[in-house]
Amino acid sequence: MTKPALILTRPRLACTRFAQSLSPKLLSRVTLVISPLLQIEPVDTPVDLDGVGGVIFTSANGVMHGPDGDGVTAYCVGEITAEAAIARGWRVQFHAPDAARLVPMLVQHGPATPLLHLRGTHQRGDVADKLTQSGLLTHVVVLYDQKALPLTDAAQAALVSGAPAIVPLFSPRTAAQFADQVPDMANAIIIALSDAVAEALGPKEVRQLLVAAEPTATSLRFKLETAVDWNRLA
């Protein structure tokens, strides 16, 4: 019987990192298909840290395309982002699993301001606006763009093969892109990072829709490993 495809749609580096985190047993059960729906492209924007109380990273891409920290305070979304920031010399004060929880944590913490949100062109949550409205002046510096990409031929072929295709989706934007590019998702097992990601798929019928308990890659991976009915796919 044909193995189900595991289609990874994050930017290529994140796809590789996620694939490397999977167990050999799981990888032996699937045909891995790398098909990024986003390509990260740096923007040549200078970052002035003079007088800044701290920076906010909501993605490891912000860390990658930003300056070295030199001990400046950073607040992060996600453990991977925090680890990347530490490696670049930032002093990570704390991190939250998502932007929605980082904002109240920062408001409660009351950091020195102004803050800088170093991010991509596309973002959800209006972090800087919400913090500024809460009394923490926050500026935005855009360091990279997230260019939309089409699914690869291999991914398209897997989705119309008749065999199950397992598709982890990590953002509402990529979920909407995926739904736009795949008219028939009847054989797709979707694992969404959050309810917002699941909702972005729209009303299309899927074989199975699973949502991670927490909006983290670790939680999504756990859902992939434990909630998919692997015996029925074997």
Q: Which two tokens stand for residue 156?
A: 């398209």
Neighbour-count burial for 114-132, b at 16+ CB within 10 Å, e otherwise = bbbbbbbeebeeebbebbb
Mean pLDDT of 181-200: 94
Helix intervals (H) in 58-186 = 60-64, 79-87, 99-109, 127-133, 153-159, 172-181
Query: Band of the pLDDT at 48, cuts 50, 70, 90?
Result: very high
What are the tens digits of pLDDT across the range 195-234? 999 999 999 899 999 999 998 899 999 999 998 877 777 5
| Torsion on CA atoms 204, 208, 212, 213, rounded to nearest 10 | 110
> What confidence tens digit (pLDDT) does each residue in 84-128 have?
999 999 999 999 988 999 999 999 999 999 999 999 998 877 899
Residue 195's nearest CA partner among 176, 178, 180, 215 is 215
pLDDT of residue 234: 58
pLDDT band for 136, please (50, 70, 90 cuts): very high
Please determine, for residue 63, whether its predicted confidence score (pLDDT) is greater than 80: yes
pLDDT band at 2 (very low <50, low <70, confident <90, very high): confident
182-218 burial, b at 16+ Cβ within 10 Å, e below that, comes to: beebebbbbbbbbebbbebbeeeebeeebbbeebbbe
* DSSP state at residue 144: E
Whole-number pLDDT of residue 1: 54
Q: For the chain, what is the mean pLDDT?
A: 93
